Structure 1
């Protein structure tokens, strides 16, 4: 995390770090694997192949790490901006009703998810602040959350259905009918709000600290902004 003259706070995703290191490790493993294949008896051929295969995985991981934005989140006076290689979303402070760690029921227990949840005052306004490519990505990424809702509401833990597939039509509060991925995402937001109590979710992989610690940071930032705005009015 780092600050700037504009008093923004930048959060770097833990998943996006060490891209160069991963590539270097992959290169070293590849050299070692090819050395085994080239210089050792054929008895060790499969061992060399395993090392080469591991290096390919490391190269792919390093490549995707380097493609990620330098910072995953930007916390400003106006709100929160999430950056992803497929786009971004913006969330003004005045539209955030609650920030917390979502929980699911598992038997008699409440289990914290490795996520940060945002309950919005006007969820439909969020649709205007998210890029279409990112919407498509999030619909896929959020499937495990929908599965959590299904299983937490099932006593046997083996309930299945078509709830992971969203309707391609959605009527806004003003009566406007939207279609396509935006409608699917609006339906998904409503489903997640009903099941988990939040509209938007961030994985801890996008953060540089634990979910609870990050929730505390965001609450302090929001309270600070609200207090400053109240003094200037």
Structure 2
């Protein structure tokens, strides 16, 4: 298991970041083999050499992006859960977490688990201050299949809306403040996903070092532990408070 635990923090390293150097080496070797095939072998092998070169370029590209990823995709502390990406990060405070589970969608008469973990927040707007615009842009693209799943489920139930997957660039906060741009689009996307799938924020299983259900169990255990610690701290504080006459 690639997760790393300390006394106060649990680190999760996703499978998507594994073997970056190995992938680069494989890609480089494939490029050399392809070039040698084109240069030294008869013309009959020219097409094979081109295919090997193409495979090498793909492997090099994959390896490049793998080594650019942060060492750990998730950091679990006593205060919060932090997601790390090469484009930024987001954070969920424990007292803002309402529910965590594997989202499910209807497919005919069956319920199908998505390859994701979903987080439902008590206050989704609190997350907007903890996420960079660059990461928001990436997540809006990454989440398009989730929106498509919602649309597909709606169509199967006879309620097709024809959503074009583009969110409104304006969003009114509960405080009355009007925000615009990609942050507003992300807020509207969270609202749509919560309405359709029941969760505001999602993590792909590729970002995990264990199955989705095992990760859900870990987060629930951490959440319960934090709540229990808070209760004990309150009890200690109350018992230590002087009695007022």
Which deviates more, 199-208 or 27-36? 27-36
Whole-angstrom CA distance in 2 between matches of 1:157 and 1:72 = 39
Q: How does 1:57-206 map to 2 (within 5 A)?
A: 57-155=58-156, 159=160, 161-206=162-207
- How many residues of Structure 1 are paired with residues of Structure 2 in the alignment? 232
Whole-angstrom CA distance in 2 between matches of 1:226 and 1:142 = 31
Whole-angstrom CA distance in 2 between matches of 1:166 and 1:202 = 20
Deviation at 1:36, TM superposition (A): 1.3
8 Å contact kept, 1:151–1:158:
no
Partner of 1:9: 10
Whole-angstrom CA distance in 1 between matches of 2:12 and 2:19 = 15
Max radius of gyration: which structure? 2
Is 1:225 aligned with 2:226? yes
Deviation at 1:156, TM superposition (A): 7.9
Deviation at 1:162, TM superposition (A): 2.9
Partner of 2:40: 39
8 Å contact kept, 1:146–1:163:
no
Deviation at 1:159, TM superposition (A): 4.9
Deviation at 1:88, TM superposition (A): 0.3
Deviations 1:129-150 (A, max 9, x none): 1111111111111111000000
Deviation at 1:4, TM superposition (A): 2.6
Whole-angstrom CA distance in 2 between matches of 1:39 and 1:217 = 55
Deviation at 1:160, TM superposition (A): 6.6
Q: Over aligned residue pairs, what C-alpha RMSD do you find?
A: 1.5
Deviations 1:40-70 (A, max 9, x none): 1111111111111110111100000011011
What SS is found at the alignment partner of 1:70? coil
Deviation at 1:119, TM superposition (A): 0.5
Normalised TM-score (structure 2): 0.91
Whole-angstrom CA distance in 1 between matches of 2:161 and 2:31 = 43
* Change in 2 beyond 3 A, CA 1:114/1:157: farther
8 Å contact kept, 2:151–2:163:
no
Deviations 1:92-151 (A, max 9, x none): 000000000001111111111000000000111111111111111111111110000000
